[in-house]
């Protein structure tokens, strides 16, 4: 704690108290005084090249470490980062946005200050749409309480929060407040009892119960409890694209990644034939439902999140997620005998000598990659086949797969890899990104070079916006071709290689894994090739987006 605390020192002391060690940002004049307090705080600053990347990096850091922090300047910085913050809000990621801002005297004069949009409150009002709590620290007396309120809301709701710090107020002294314990939410006892009774009856009467372990379990630290329930009652467990790897994909009860018809056929059938489907922390999105191809029987479904509790057609008000799980594991449920379970993606087979000259495809890329992903690896996937192709990639350790699998914003992977490396410096990060998405945020390789980071970045080059091309094709899906292998020469850091065959890819990955620097591997994929999952998703979206496919 700083000897004479100011708004700035108190802010970063509060951040550090949450276990944060890194803050991501880009300086600007309104934020420079806050950056000076950040520098003095002892927290490590990672400055990046573009604000959207700041948001994605801080988001990924928060997914791994429990809270991510982004520091940017007023309007031109914060509003430029808005899409990444929207991604964090949509996917319930704990991200704290700190923005520099005008002084109270600027607001009083109401002048045409640079970066001002409409009013001085325009930025805050916009951020109210993508955050769970906002504060403008215009008064140093109330600033500490406001800082604690916003941080507490971010941690409670696992959604972004927003703090705007006027450039002069940040230097003003504050009095340390007496922090009060906020009582934990508790369930309505009668509703909790009723839901437990109905859940026990549903599970005990079921021949084929299944748990879908979705992302809210991870966000709220409940994955271990959900897995304990599965193990105690011998209930098979699936993940979703958004929650992929929150449990080990080599666990004997794991049956695969479920996403409607985007799933492996055996996994889809087993989940949809379940007579007691326990969806824990589930996001009921179109991606989860396989673009609405899922055939789930609501009558036999239990849905429990931080926001709703439902069994069949009955809802239960004020049932706390954690409390229900803690009680369920102690209930008189007879362990199941599930018999033969769907086998998740099998372990990839080593390359044979005769295959080494075969041309690469999406499926074969993930096969070869799967041979080289070790225990201490984190995989970060962008949208498209970088994500959908990875459904067949089995991760050994929990929580070592990151993607924006619901919001699906292109450009996530490279900056998110920076956040992941900061949060888990001892893990080797594999970032997988399409060529179109790489052209959006790939220049963050400059940040990687600046901080001496060593990810392995795969650019899947299929000559354009491949995902869109499979939905509705046209010249608008074409992009200018780059020579991606020149990137490391441009930066003066790392190594690059272009691969076109299975053998070349294996050699490149082997060399990259053995190295301690950045490796960019450009993977040439045929223009029209895609994973079966992407093909099925494109077919469903094509029926909606393309008038020719929907018959007029």
Q: Model confidence over 334-360: pLDDT tens digits?
A: 999 988 898 887 788 899 999 999 999
* pLDDT score recorded for residue 444: 98
Kindly state the average pLDDT of the residues 176-201.
Answer: 90
Both tokens of residue 182?
A: 């906020």
258-302: per-residue pLDDT in tens?
999 888 899 999 999 999 999 999 988 888 888 888 899 999 999
CA separation for the pair 418, 372 (Å, rounded): 21
CA separation for the pair 223, 216 (Å, rounded): 9
In CATH, what is the architecture of 189-328? 3-Layer(aba) Sandwich (3.40)
86-122: per-residue pLDDT in tens?
999 999 999 999 999 999 888 887 777 888 889 989 9
136-148: per-residue pLDDT in tens?
999 999 999 999 9
Instruction: Give the distance from CA 270 to its chain's centroid.
Output: 27
Kindly state the average pLDDT of the residues 487-511.
Answer: 97
Kindly state the average pLDDT of the residues 1-8.
Answer: 81
Quick check: 36 and 106 in contact, CB under 8 A? no
Quick check: 491 and 452 in contact, CB under 8 A? no
In this structure, the strands spanning 519-524 and 314-315 are unpaired
Helices 143-157 and 7-16 sit at what angle, rounded to 10 degrees?
A: 30
Q: Using 50, 70 and 90 to split pLDDT, how confident is the model at 552?
A: low
pLDDT at residue 1 greater than cutoff 60? no
Kindly state the percentage of the chain with pLDDT values over 90.
Answer: 77
Kindly state the average pLDDT of the residues 21-36.
Answer: 97
Domain with CATH 3.40.50.970 in the chain: 7-171, 353-545
Average pLDDT in the chain: 93
Nearest of 342, 399, 389, 340 to residue 369 by alpha carbon: 389
Kindly state the average pLDDT of the residues 324-338.
Answer: 96
Q: Using 50, 70 and 90 to split pLDDT, how confident is the model at 376?
A: confident
**How many other CB atoms are there within 10 angstroms of residue 182's CB atom?**
10
Distances (CA, A) of 114 to 109, 168, 549: 14, 16, 49
> Strand runs (DSSP E) across 229-355, as ranges?
237-239, 254-257, 276-280, 301-304, 309-311, 314-315
41-62: per-residue pLDDT in tens?
999 999 999 999 999 999 999 9
Quick check: 95 and 160 in contact, CB under 8 A? yes
Query: Spelled out in words, what is the top-level CATH class assigned to the domain 7-171?
Result: alpha beta
**How many other CB atoms are there within 10 angstroms of residue 250's CB atom?**
12
User: How big is the chain by its Cα radius of gyration, in Å?
Assistant: 24
What is this structure's pTM?
Answer: 0.94
* pLDDT score recorded for residue 286: 81
pLDDT at residue 466 greater than cutoff 90? no
* pLDDT score recorded for residue 2: 55
202 CB-side CA count, 13 A: 26
Q: Is 190 helix (H, G, I), strand (E, B) or coil?
A: helix
pLDDT at residue 133 greater than cutoff 90? yes
* pLDDT score recorded for residue 70: 98
Top-confidence range, 223-237, 284-298, 396-410: 223-237
> Strand runs (DSSP E) across 356-455, as ranges?
377-381, 401-403, 428-434
Domain with CATH 3.40.50.1220 in the chain: 189-328
CA separation for the pair 58, 180 (Å, rounded): 28
pLDDT: which is higher, 538 or 130: 130
- Specify the CATH number for 353-545; select among 3.40.50.12160, 3.40.140.10, 3.40.50.150, 3.40.50.970: 3.40.50.970
pLDDT: which is higher, 151 or 178: 151
For Cα atoms 298, 190, 236, give the angle at the middle one, nearest 5 degrees. 40
């Amino acid at each position: 704690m700083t000897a004479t605390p100011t708004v700035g020192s108190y802010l970063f002391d509060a951040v550090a108290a949450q276990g944060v060690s890194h803050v991501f940002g880009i300086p600007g004049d309104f934020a420079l005084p806050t950056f000076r307090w950040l520098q003095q705080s002892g927290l490590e600053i990672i400055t990046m090249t573009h604000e959207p990347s700041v948001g994605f990096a801080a988001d990924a850091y928060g997914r791994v470490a429990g809270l991510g922090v982004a520091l940017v300047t007023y309007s031109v910085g914060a509003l430029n980062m808005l899409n990444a913050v929207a991604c964090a809000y949509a996917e319930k990621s704990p991200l704290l946005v700190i923005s520099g801002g005008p002084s109270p005297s600027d607001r009083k004069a109401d002048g045409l200050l640079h970066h001002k949009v409409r009013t001085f409150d325009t930025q805050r009002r916009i951020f109210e749409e993508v955050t769970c709590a906002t504060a403008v620290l215009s008064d140093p007396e109330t600033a500490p309480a406001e800082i604690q309120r916003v941080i507490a809301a971010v941690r409670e709701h696992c959604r972004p929060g927003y703090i705007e710090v006027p450039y002069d107020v940040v230097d003003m002294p504050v009095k340390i407040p007496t922090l009060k314990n906020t009582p934990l939410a508790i369930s309505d006892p009668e509703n909790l009892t009723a839901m437990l009774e109905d859940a026990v009856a549903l599970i005990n009467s079921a021949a084929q119960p299944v748990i879908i372990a979705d992302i809210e379990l991870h966000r709220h630290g409940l994955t271990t409890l959900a897995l304990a329930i599965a193990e105690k009652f011998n209930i098979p467990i699936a993940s979703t694209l958004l929650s992929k790897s929150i449990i080990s994909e080599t666990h004997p009860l794991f049956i695969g990644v479920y996403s409607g018809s985007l799933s492996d056929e055996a996994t889809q059938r087993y989940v949809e034939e379940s007579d007691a489907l326990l969806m824990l922390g589930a996001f009921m999105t179109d991606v989860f439902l396989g673009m609405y191809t899922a055939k789930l029987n609501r009558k036999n479904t239990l849905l429990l999140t931080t926001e709703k509790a439902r069994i069949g057609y009955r809802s239960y008000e004020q049932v706390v997620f954690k409390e229900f799980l803690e009680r369920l594991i102690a209930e008189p449920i007879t362990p199941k005998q599930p018999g033969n379970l769907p086998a998740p993606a099998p372990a990839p087979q080593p390359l044979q000598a005769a295959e080494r000259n075969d041309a690469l495809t999406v499926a074969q890329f993930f096969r070869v990659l799967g041979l080289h992903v070790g225990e201490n690896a984190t995989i970060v996937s962008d949208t498209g086949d970088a994500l959908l192709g990875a459904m067949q990639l089995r991760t050994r350790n929990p929580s070592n797969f990151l993607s924006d699998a619901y919001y699906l914003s292109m450009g996530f992977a490279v900056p998110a890899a920076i956040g992941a490396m900061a949060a888990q410096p001892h893990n080797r990060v594999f970032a997988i990104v399409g060529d179109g998405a790489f052209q959006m945020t790939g220049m963050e390789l400059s940040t990687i070079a600046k901080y001496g980071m060593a990810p392995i970045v795969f650019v899947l080059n299929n000559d354009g916006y491949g995902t869109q091309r499979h939905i509705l094709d046209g010249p608008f899906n074409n992009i200018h071709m780059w020579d991606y292998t020149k990137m490391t020469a441009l930066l003066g850091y790392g190594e690059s290689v272009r691969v076109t065959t299975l053998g070349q890819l294996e050699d490149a990955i082997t060399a990259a894994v053995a190295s301690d620097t950045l490796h960019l591997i450009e993977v040439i994929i045929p223009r029209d090739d895609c994973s079966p999952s992407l093909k099925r998703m494109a077919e469903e979206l094509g029926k909606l987006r393309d008038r020719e496919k929907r018959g007029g």
